[in-house]
Amino acid sequence: MGTPPLAAGPGLLARARLVISLFKLRIGTLIMVTALVGLAVTPGASLAAWQVAVLALSVLLASASAGAFNQYAEHEADRLMGRTRGRAFATGAIERHPRWLWVMALLLVGAVAAAAAALNAAAAAYVFLGAFFYGVVYTLWLKRRTPWNIVVGGLAGSFAVLAGAAAANPVPGAQAWLLALVLFLWTPPHFWALAIANRPEYERAGVPMLPVVVGDARAARIVFASTVLLVAASLLPLFACGAGGVYAAGAIGGGGWFLLKTWQLARRPSRATAMPAFFASLIQLSALLVAATLDALL
């Protein structure tokens, strides 16, 4: 098959960084963490350390495959947006050669096969579905067709939680399903806040993100309403699964901060209020994941 070609340019280390940048490892790391949290909150078989490592790496590699495919498919649109125009396929720093598709496919097949061999078929299926929904359902089927594209795209994180839970028990329990629901509900307000901040760029790229279609003001109100629904869902484990005080502190603290920032966004829709809401979504999710893990361990 050969090595996928790189355009002529800087030295080996800089080229390695370009290749690594294709795989969206920051997003992949977050998705990997959600899988480990899904494992932590699920009673079931005790995994060996090597099995936990396989779970983490399989989710990370599957996410990396989907992230690289997203950049491969979106290279032309990426050139039209300030936040993405520096990506390697968009700039031509890495040649967009079909051989890269083989690399992505091999990563995904390897990740799914490793999960099936080391864990079980259910965990492997969820690993695959997470990558499939982001790479194919979101990127190819929905992104340019509907302003609700990111709602379905949010299933990628949900499937990671279920992959982790299925590693302990092929039939995930209530708390794992509720955490998957939280990940599903988290993605829209998280991404729509960013889309409000970057609406002119999405317009220029011809991508029908929600604020492009309905305007910033209405989109901001939808972001706030979505956050209310998210925070309500994040509290359900307190009543349905017996989650304890540590979980309550994380859910209420992180959720309250996200609500405050999206309320401010709804009152004054602008980039100046959208970016704090976006960063608040990261704080909310981080607080919830840490709290869920500590609560399960303690």
pLDDT tens, per residue, the chain with 298 residues: 555 555 545 578 888 888 899 999 999 999 999 999 999 999 887 899 999 999 999 999 999 999 999 999 999 988 988 888 889 999 999 999 999 999 999 999 999 999 999 999 999 999 999 999 999 999 999 988 898 888 887 888 899 999 999 999 999 999 999 999 999 999 999 999 999 999 999 998 889 999 999 999 999 999 999 999 999 999 999 998 888 999 999 999 999 999 999 999 999 999 999 999 999 999 999 999 999 999 998 8
Residue type (1 letter), 292? A
Any domain includes 1 = no
Both 131 and 20 in a single domain?
yes
Both 160 and 39 in a single domain?
yes
Domain range for residue 97? 12-170
Both 182 and 166 in a single domain?
no
Both 125 and 246 in a single domain?
no
Q: Can you spell out the DSSP letters for 21-66?
A: HTT-HHHHHHHHHHHHHHHHT--SPPPPHHHHHHHHHHHHHHHHHH
Query: What whole-number distance in Å separates Cα of residue 115 and Cα of residue 63?
Result: 14
- The vertex-192 CA angle with 198 and 76, nearest 5°, equals 50
CATH number where 29 lies? 1.10.357.140
**Crossing angle of helices 49-73 and 25-40, rounded to 10°:** 140
Q: Final residue of a domain: which of 120, 138, 170?
A: 170
132 neighbors 40 (Cβ within 8 angstroms): no
Total domains in the chain come to 2
Q: Final residue of a domain: which of 140, 170, 200?
A: 170
